[in-house]
Every structure is written in structure tokens, then in C-alpha cells.
Amino acid sequence: MSAASALAAPPAPIRLLDLPAQHAAIQAELDAALQHVMHTGDFIQGPDVEQFAQELGAYLGGAYVVPCANGTDALQLALMSLELQPGDEIIVPAFTYVATAEAAAILGLRPVPAEVDPRMFTLDAAATEAAITLRTRAILAVHLYGQCADLTALRGVANRHGLALIEDNAQAIGATWQGADGQLVAAGTVGEVGTTSFFPSKNLGCLGDGGALLTRDAARAAHLYELANHGQARGRKYVHQRIGLNSRLDTLQAALLRVKLRHLGAWTAARQQVAAQYDAALGTVPGLQIPARQAGSTHVFHQYTLTLASEARRDALQKHLQQHGVPSVVYYPVPVHLQPAYAYLGYRAGQFPVAEALCRTVLSLPIHPGLTPEQVAYVAAVVKTGAAE
């Protein structure tokens, strides 16, 4: 069979993600959870919220989990818990989703972008150390696409300079990190605080907005709980210890997340299977780089992201994929320092060449637990013919 005829049509429509199919497979469990919450009427801070926090904490190897309204609030709450002064600096990767920088900026803190590793897509430890000033208070690392930034190196930088380490783990829930001592720890639980998001498209997504904070420190967990709940200590209604937010995970979402958490391990394994098939098919294709693996981290493949040789090649491949019924996305086309909203920081094009180049050359392929081997083979075949053009 020629390459052209092999590409005649996808075996079944290929989607970036397929939540309806995922939900249909566990419909009875989800329905039961939904009905239960509806009938109890306990919509805010009902028992499912705490039960979900306990279950996710256990899944993450014994971390404290403080649910909140979304992943962006989680970042803001994490920074609030550091009790910083306006103008204090937070180092963030120049290549990330904007929420990472936004959480600092909205608090009057200064997001300071730093360069990323061109193969790992995550914060470069040497560039991070070089960005430290007398005002630096924290490093906000992002586990982009589903694997950890180099946490041993970043923890080292943070410790040497007396900085907090915060992990934006919105994309890497369930990934593990193996530290220098050989111990395996869950992504999001190495820093003082980790954050995550249950936005529907995340690896563990709810049916709306949701998020959580992760920490191994009981006192910090209590502090974060207060910050997310109007500054009110657990169980002490109408007494406000501090100024906080109203940032809660709905009981309904927590109940649905409890169901989905039971399947997260299998879904992660399915994503890893898809990634392995892409790797095998695309690893030696000239003109593109398959995702590199960070030593010490597992990869939960929130995204499977290729790097092309140039912007023109990337855009041509995306067009070719589209013409053959394969959706793809550029996460993210604009680096933090060149976002219009962050012009006030005073950066110029050319200051973070790696981040800028990644914005021009990355392309994420469909990856979700419902893709069949035939669909993955089809996508890979289309990528191959597209890369050869």
C-alpha cells in the first residue's frame, strides 16, 4: 500500500480529546455521584470535597490536598501563603501558560521570566539561578506537558538562595520524581507548595472548573485552607484569621473527581501507550524531534509535543495534518515576556531565544486515553508524510 492510499481517511474521527466517550465509559459511576450530591443538597464544602482531598492525597503518596476553585487560584493562593511584599520577584518560565505569570502579577508581585531547556521545555536551572536578585522570593516551576522540571537542580537553587519552590503541576498530575536519594515522590509535592487544575481537558479533569493545592506540611495546608476559604479556619465559622479568597471546589465536582480519580492510573497508562507508539513511529523521522524525557521524572503525557526545524515547517505540518483530519495545537504561540499584558515588565524580543523558538516550532498531537492504535498509526503516518514535504 502506498503512503498516499494509507492516508485516505482516518479510521475514525480523531479528536484532541474525547470527554464524552471517556464519560460514557463510566456513566453509571458518574450518574450515581451526581444523583447523590443532588439529593443531599450539600453543594458547598459537602463531605465529598474532604473525601476527594484525602483520596487524592493518598494517590500522591501522602500529601495534604487543599481543593480550590481552579488552577489559577491555586497558583495565587500558593503565592499568598508566602506572605510577600509588593514588588517581590517570582521566577517563572518564559515558556508556559500565562496563568503562571498572571498569579504573581495580580498580587502585585513581579513575574521574572527565565529561559527554558530547549529539549525538556521546562525551567532551566542555570538560567533560573542567573535571574535571581535581592528581591527574588520564589521559583515557580511548571511541569509542562506532563513531566517534571529538573526538581533536584531547582530545589538546589532554591535552597542555596533561601527561596521557596512552587510547582505548577496542572499538567503533570500523577507523574513521579526520583530525587538524589532515590526516593520516588509525586510531582507537585517536592516544593513548599504544588498546585494543580481540574480543568476538563487536564489528565484529571472535572466537568467545569476546579483546582487544588498540594503540600507535605500540615501547618501550610491549614494556612492554604484558610486562604481559600475567606481566611476562616476549618470548623470555625465566621471567625476570619486572615484576608482570603472565596475559592472552593464544588461538592458536585469533588464527587465526580472521586469517580475519575479511580481511573486516572489506567488513563495515564493509556496515554503513555499512545506516546510509546508515536515514539516508535516518529523517533527517526528527519526534521522533527519527539519529546525528550527528563531524567528522574516519569511522563504522564498531558501533551505529546513535537519540535520542528522552523516555523514554516511547523505551520506546514499543521496544515497537512488538518487536511488529513488530524487536529493539532500550538501550546503556546507567545512567550510570557512578549504577551501584550506583560509589556510593562519591559522585555524585548530576543531576550529569551529558546522560549521564543519553541513558540515558533512546537506542535502537539492528539493524545488521550481513548485513541486506538489504528488512529495513532494513522496520525503518525500523516506526520511522516507531512514532515517529508
List contacts with ligand PLP (CB under 6 A): 70-72, 96-97, 99-100, 142, 168, 170-171, 197, 199, 209, 211
Min CB(162)–ligand PLP separation in Å: 25
Min CB(95)–ligand PLP separation in Å: 11
Establish whether the linkage from the previous residue to 332 is cis, with ω within 30° of 0: yes
Question: Which C-beta is closer to ligand PLP: that of 168 or that of 226?
Answer: 168
Residue with the shortest CB distance to ligand PLP: 71
Min CB(116)–ligand PLP separation in Å: 13
Question: Which C-beta is closer to ligand PLP: that of 196 or that of 318?
Answer: 196
CB-based burial label for 200 (10 Å; 0-12, 13-18, 19+): middle
Question: Which C-beta is closer to ligand PLP: that of 57 or that of 211?
Answer: 211
Question: Which C-beta is closer to ligand PLP: that of 76 or that of 318?
Answer: 76
Question: Which C-beta is closer to ligand PLP: that of 70 or that of 251?
Answer: 70
Helix (H, G, I), strand (E, B) or coil at 80: helix
Rounded CA gap, 77 and 227, in Å?
A: 7
Question: Which C-beta is closer to ligand PLP: that of 71 or that of 244?
Answer: 71
Min CB(94)–ligand PLP separation in Å: 13
Residue 297's nearest CA partner among 204, 180, 187 is: 187
Query: What sign results for the dihedral spanned by CA atoms 186, 189, 190, 195?
Result: positive
What is the per-residue burial (b if ≥16 Cβ within 10 Å, else e) of 243-271? ebbebbbbbbbbbbbbbbbebbeebbebb
Question: Which C-beta is closer to ligand PLP: that of 95 or that of 225?
Answer: 95
Min CB(320)–ligand PLP separation in Å: 27
Question: Which C-beta is closer to ligand PLP: that of 7 or that of 66?
Answer: 66
Cell of 37: 450530591
Q: Cell 520542528 appears where?
A: 308
Distances in Å between the Cα of 356 and the Cα atoms of 115, 117, 147, 359 are 9, 12, 21, 5
Cell of 140: 515557580
Distances in Å between the Cα of 172 and the Cα atoms of 142, 169, 330, 371 are 9, 5, 18, 19
Backbone angles phi and psi of 312, in degrees to 5: -60, -40
Residues 290/282, Cβ–Cβ less than 8 Å:
yes
- DSSP H helical segments within 283-352, as ranges? 311-323
Min CB(201)–ligand PLP separation in Å: 8
Min CB(159)–ligand PLP separation in Å: 24
Backbone angles phi and psi of 245, in degrees to 5: -115, 165
Min CB(198)–ligand PLP separation in Å: 7
Min CB(312)–ligand PLP separation in Å: 27
Question: Which C-beta is closer to ligand PLP: that of 115 or that of 277?
Answer: 115
Residue 79's nearest CA partner among 223, 234, 203, 182 is: 223
